[in-house]
Structure 1
Amino acid sequence: MLEDFGDEAAETEDGADGPAVSDAFALQRQRAADLGGFMLELDNHVLTFLPGQGKRLVVSFDNLAAVRETEDRIIWGQKFLQAQGHDILGLQVKRRDWFRDRQIIDALTGLRDAGFFRAYPAVSMFGSSMGGFGALAFAPLAPGCTVMAFAPQRSLTASLCPYETRYRHARLNTDWSLPYGDAAQGLCAASRVYIAYDPTQPEDRAHAAALEAPNVTFLPMRHMGHKLPPALLKMGLLKTISQAAFEARLELPDFARMMRARRESTPWRADFLARCLARGHYRLGLSLAEKMMADRPHWKIRHQKKELAAALAAAA
């Protein structure tokens, strides 16, 4: 379900963090206590540990949308990760600061120095967008870890990434001189890194080029946009891809075979037709919509077909 991974589809990339709530972490605090874990509550972040089977620790980083959740703040992907039996360390944010905060960095390095990460036979880092940056940048906390990062950024530092203009507030109002601020440096500590991105997104393509390294496997997802997890979740692929990445067994032929299934996904089909409409490819889109309706009728496709037909008629 989408709430397992946060409502990234409604994510706003910049601006205010929204109204504060009395205690959005109350239920999560109780879960941690019930499982024998812990919750470390800092000024701008919450570090939550939920024990599982003790075989793999997954460090999950919030995305930008998380601060909008006001009732029950869970870790990004928590239900999926718990169903797999993983121990979870969740880095939950109270503000969109891209983890540029001395308190949380000190807390994480304190866990490292205490041997927290070394206690596990396997560690994985996990996140999307801002969380993808975090998963890569903080990989040195657990040398030899695996990383699954969706549409990550290398950094928001202008000198490193002059092509990145989407996150003005975070670029200007966070301290990028703090440690763990360059994902290209951080990922070198991992044994295997998977980076999913849409090469038709100029900024994401530029970040991917800046993150190329021998231990990196790129997972291109053309025409799926920046917010990849919601689309993959609707296609039934997010959890399969993520688990295979954690275990470093996701190879490009298998990934390509899974991605071909997107053409059978109604959300992907509807999005493709929407792109045809937005780019003025009315005739092509209408032809494809007719074939899709003949193959597997759906109200979303019917709606797109009507819009394309109207646009084609108006342009005639």
Structure 2
Amino acid sequence: MEEIFSGHSYQVQAEIKDDGPTVVCFDPWSNILDPDRPPFGLRYFSTNSINVIAIKSHGNHWYQREEMDEVVERINQRLAGRERVGYGSSMGAYGAINFSERLSLSRVLLFAPQYSPDMTRFPWEQRWQAEQTGLECRYDVVSEIAPIGGGYLFYDPFNSNDKKHADLITARHPLTPIKMPFAGHHTLDWFGQNRTISRLIKSMVFDIGREGEAIRDRRLDRPKIATYWLNLSAHYLAKNRPMLALQAAKRGTECEKGDLFLARHTYATCLYTHGEPEAAKRIWRSALDNPNETSRQRWLLGQSIVQHGWQELRGEFLETKAVAPA
């Protein structure tokens, strides 16, 4: 592995084996900023014999630190004369398109990107408020740079914020939008869950025009992924259709792929809302009794209690009861 740059805010590593295209990867937002973690995309592309340069961010600051000037310079020096493809998800997808002009990217593969992290311009985006509040956006230029040559933008049209970002981006940049209904914000995970990501990426990097095969496979396979049913359930709840939400959540628990633990919690939440508290409590108790699920179940229950005002559940499930002395 070759180290291109190492600084306070970023580390850049590369694995370049031949003269073919190089994928430039940008880290997504993460709640686990382990400095020893591998950069996003580095392991995947290198093990699949695809040239890669991966930018690891040591913070969730949307690539706005001054070190990006040197990062860009080092990458350009290393990739002189090579074709480059930008790749990223969420914050990383924003980084890929935001620096596409300075990095001379020929095209980009974006999964649920943001148009801008500047909350003064887009106060409706509150999902990452803790990191974005007061962020100095010195490099925020998606709306100013020359339109990128091409690429793809994957997003869930039923995720209102992601749709707003996608519409703003495609209004300026001639990217092909790929709608993935009820994929949620983590659209990239869908391809990883059924192992079509390899074919999708290889076709987009090396064999432009055949990526439709992987996209069609993903669409046909979506009923097998719990994520699809969870987001569909949330959609029905927002439309005040609780029975359909319950049915969709139940389908999610029957899947073999996706976040099955969240699927069970969502189903329990729908049962409790639908007036079947004992059935819901059996699911929650089973999860809390499982050492592998206890921590996350407590967190999810805490979120549901706050969201729905179910304070009666706090004492039963979350508060530690004192044990009477013998």
Match of 2:203 in 1: 244
Q: CA deviation at 1:313?
A: 4.3
Query: Does structure 1 residue 216 correspond to structure 2 residue 175?
Result: yes
Partners in 1 of 2:176 and 2:45 — Cα distance? 22
Identity of aligned residues (%): 17
Match of 2:79 in 1: 117
Amino acid at match of 1:130: M
Question: Within 5 A, what are the aligned runs for 1:286-305?
Answer: none
TM-score by length of 1: 0.71
Partners in 2 of 1:259 and 1:154 — Cα distance? 26
Q: CA deviation at 1:259?
A: 1.4
Question: Within 5 A, what are the aligned runs for 1:5-24?
Answer: none
Partners in 1 of 2:255 and 2:186 — Cα distance? 28
Query: Does structure 1 residue 258 correspond to structure 2 residue 258?
Result: no
Match of 1:74 in 2: 38
Moved more, 263-272 or 139-148: 263-272
> Among 49, 58, 61, which residue is 1:97 paired with?
61
Unaligned runs of 5+ in 1: 1-31
Higher normalized contact order (CA 8 Å, seq sep 6+, divided by chain length): 1
Greater radius of gyration (CA) = 2
Amino acid at match of 1:224: A
Match of 1:129 in 2: 90
1:102-152: CA deviation from partner (whole Å, max 9, x where unpaired):
22223313542x3x33332x3111111110001101111343522111111
Unaligned runs of 5+ in 2: 278-326
Amino acid at match of 2:56: Q
Amino acid at match of 1:258: R
SS in 2 for 1:91: strand
SS in 2 for 1:224: coil
Amino acid at match of 1:199: P
Amino acid at match of 1:245: M
Query: Does structure 1 residue 192 correspond to structure 2 residue 150?
Result: yes
Moved more, 125-134 or 92-101: 92-101
Moved more, 153-162 or 96-105: 153-162
Number of equivalent positions: 272
C-alpha distance 303-46 of structure 1, shift in aligned 2 (>3 A): closer
Q: Does the CA-based 8 Å contact 2:22-2:85 persist in structure 1?
A: yes
Q: Does the CA-based 8 Å contact 2:196-2:217 persist in structure 1?
A: no
Partners in 1 of 2:184 and 2:250 — Cα distance? 24
Match of 1:205 in 2: 163
Question: How large is the RMSD of aligned CA atoms in angstroms?
Answer: 3.4
Q: CA deviation at 1:220?
A: 1.1
1:226-272: CA deviation from partner (whole Å, max 9, x where unpaired):
12222331133333333333343356686245313211334434554
